[in-house]
Amino acid sequence: MTTDDYPQVGRGWAFPPRWERTGVGGTGGTGPVDLVTNDGAEHVGEALVLLLRTMIGSRVMRPDLGAGVDRYVFEPRTSEACHRLADDVRRALVLGEPRVIVDAVEAVPAGEADDRVDVTIEFRIDRHRRPTSLVVPFYLAGAS
């Protein structure tokens, strides 16, 4: 899917930000900012992962941006922790990414891995499209 399929999505800066090198010998970094290589649905998926990996308070101009999932790192992998993680992810997506409609967020322990929880996000870029799924792994302290 491209920007032509999703004109409301647009294109943005690559993360981390990079500038084209246009000085003598390729130094200087005064050229235009590199844009993301993906566009459309893939660009939105990258933006969702970036939002979820952002710690709350780490952005100076938007201190409330992020999911706060870093606080689950040392928690045991219980059903309560999975439920709270899914709730925090849903809240972050609804507040921080206005381009998507979040249909469902589910956090489940990942089979054999004692310390991983897979968060499955079903979202749509607009109300007329078929839902897209994104699975983001998070690592917790391990089995209780």
CATH number for 91? 3.10.450.40
Instruction: Tell me the residue range of the domain where 53 lies.
Output: 24-139
* pLDDT tens digits, one per residue of 59-102: 899 899 999 888 888 888 888 999 999 999 999 999 998 888 99
**40 assigned to some structural domain:** yes
Q: 42 versus 72: which is more confidently predicted?
A: 72
Total number of domains in the chain: 1
Confidence tier at 1 by pLDDT (50, 70, 90): very low
pLDDT at 103 over 60: yes
Instruction: State how far the alpha carbon of 27 is from the alpha carbons of 23, 30, 36, 60, in Å.
Output: 5, 9, 22, 29
**55 assigned to some structural domain:** yes
**134 assigned to some structural domain:** yes
